[in-house]
Structure 1
Amino acid sequence: MKHDIAIFKELTRDMIVKGEEPHINSTNFRDIKGFLPVSFVSMKNSLPKQASSLQKFTEFWEKIIISVDSILILSGLDSMKVNDVKIGTIFLSFYIWHLLILLIFDFSFAKKYWHVDWRRGDSIILLICVVCHVWVNFQCQGCRPSFKCLLEAVAVIRIVRPVLHHRDCRQYMLAVLGVGPVLLHFGLLVATFNYMFAVIAMEMFALDPVVTTGPEGTRLLLACDKELPNFNCFSTGSLSVFMVFIEAGFGKVMHARQAEKSLPPLNSWQTAGINLYFIMVYAVMGIGLCNLLTTIVVEFQKVLEEDAEMREVSKRELMSRVRAKVKKMIINVKIFNSFRKKFDELMETAPHTGEREVMIGRSLGNWRSRLSGSKEKKH
């Protein structure tokens, strides 16, 4: 009780000096934060604050650069050159200069940049893209075209950066990443299944392959004799390798013996057996892919529900803490108002000068020292 009275005296000290009636108004109510517990002040500081005009401008400029860069990548215009410099290089340099300016003029915001999870991932993606882009454009003049295309493919992953800068899209992407292990697991199972049945088919129905000019897929993968925008050459080559593998493992198997003139042609039963084998493989593969799709949908829905539940729980916990602190502040304000009446009674009954001296206290020191001084005078 004495502690609260001392706080009330400290808040209304200027009114007492001027001879006015002490009361709690909007001015001294804001000064209550100096007497609040440290736990409440730390909790208040942890709440999201309104961004400054510089921070709003930098975030807006950041979104503009990233969005335009992604549009140029999708349209294939990032490989166009302006004064012998690619447009993609120009926009990457814009973003690097943006980060440097942010570090110089708003260091407090830049210091918090790395502590946010999605911004940390965005910075890692940006660093990888810059390294690959600089390497393929300035350090890889004598490299093979396929290696250049591979670096271009890695540099183009910055196309996912607009997703990181949008809250709803970021939540959706996290849900997709949550089912990533399931997708990888079943993808490996399908690839292993495919390879196993292709090997079995080659062993059962075909001769050993004779390679004269290198693996067919490798020849297709390294067949790019000119630079193509982004990773078209690499993706086309990878798709060609996969199709050649499937074709060599399935489509060409039943024609391998027929192409060999020294061997008798396949009869109808052998051809029917090979066709039945392929039909069985495709049927089992179709069932596996359907199960894969169902599992992905179920796991994706589960991840979304868990993420929404975690957000709701954290929001409820934060709101409950804020309500408890606000309720405590309201109670303290009511106590201050009740002290006002007691203070009026005390001012009417106590001697004018002595009470004035007790209420004001010493001019030096904080409010706790003035409170201790008033106790000494009473004794």
Structure 2
Amino acid sequence: MKFKIEALDPQSKARAGEVTTDHGVIETPIFMPVGTMGTVKGVHQRELKEEINPDIILGNTYHLYLRPKTDVLEAAGGLHKFMNWDRPILTDSGGYQVYSLSGRRKIKEEGVKFKSHIDGSYHFFSPENVMEIQRKIGADIIMAFDECTPYPCDYNYAKRSMHMTHRWLNRCINHLEKVPYRYDYAQTFFPIVQGSTYTDLRKQSAEYIANAGAEGNAIGGLSVGEPAEEMYAMTDVVCSILPEDKPRYLMGVGTPINILENIALGVDMFDCVMPTRNARNGMLFTSEGHINIKNKKWENDFSPVDPAGITWVDTEYSKAYLRHLFVSNEFLGKQIATIHNLGFYLWLVREARKHIIAGDFREWKDKMVKQMDNRL
């Protein structure tokens, strides 16, 4: 993988860059649609490419391990071929699922024993076998196995967890050297900064991760319930330490406003289920604010879903029709909303990139944040 910075915003820490992988170029800042189980919910791969057009998508190690199972993916030639996707893919390590399955798992130094949410069967994740699983899945960018701490989190627990994440990182790196690529392209490894919302721990973790010398770095353990101001503060601390010549990935973030504010702090890559999950519940994001399409106020509104939208669904259908689909529980409504929201997220980060290159990102960002905070 190669990364180069093409432009820096003069009034913030925002940067426009380019990540080159064997499956294509990723222009940053970028939002990665979440394709948890080899699918971005409700969207065909053709629609994903032609309408939403992301440079990269995200898959989930935990879910793909359980279904369809890694031996199926390996027999298919990897996740790219299995789902017919020829652009870059990133897989998370399962660390977040360890966090979210708090009632179904037991964490030890060796790794994590957990109970499948599907059939109750027991499984074990360690830094070593998670690296092997991600080799078989075959994503272009693979993540270190870590523990994502909850919020709020006791300082001593956060400290112990952070040090264990660092020890797990060393085990990941050592084992990766023993496990060759499964397919005819390279994989890039990202370690993850932890430390909850404690500044001293975040600094310590960022320094440890920076010294690992990986080709890119991630920030984990945020967007787990902490106030946005604390998220921004921790991101700022970490970005001031992580190498400037490596891409920075803020995991699981977030709202459109979160994304713009973190771009301003120096983050390059984002992912979140919010645009797809909220779409399925009738929440639409637009440049003028957010819409609950199920509200009665849209019943006789025959204007386009989003006149400023970039996807075909934005002008093909009216708000009244989309509301009707949701009220009638027609799945087409969820599909339309999903395409719209993902299209908007990709538009947002690409507009951010344009304004970084133009040198007026800060002014544009401040204007967009005010507009998008509206409830329409």
Verify same fold: TM over 0.5.
no
Q: Which has the larger radius of gyration?
A: 1
What TM-score, normalized to structure 2?
0.22
Higher helix share: 1
What TM-score, normalized to structure 1?
0.22
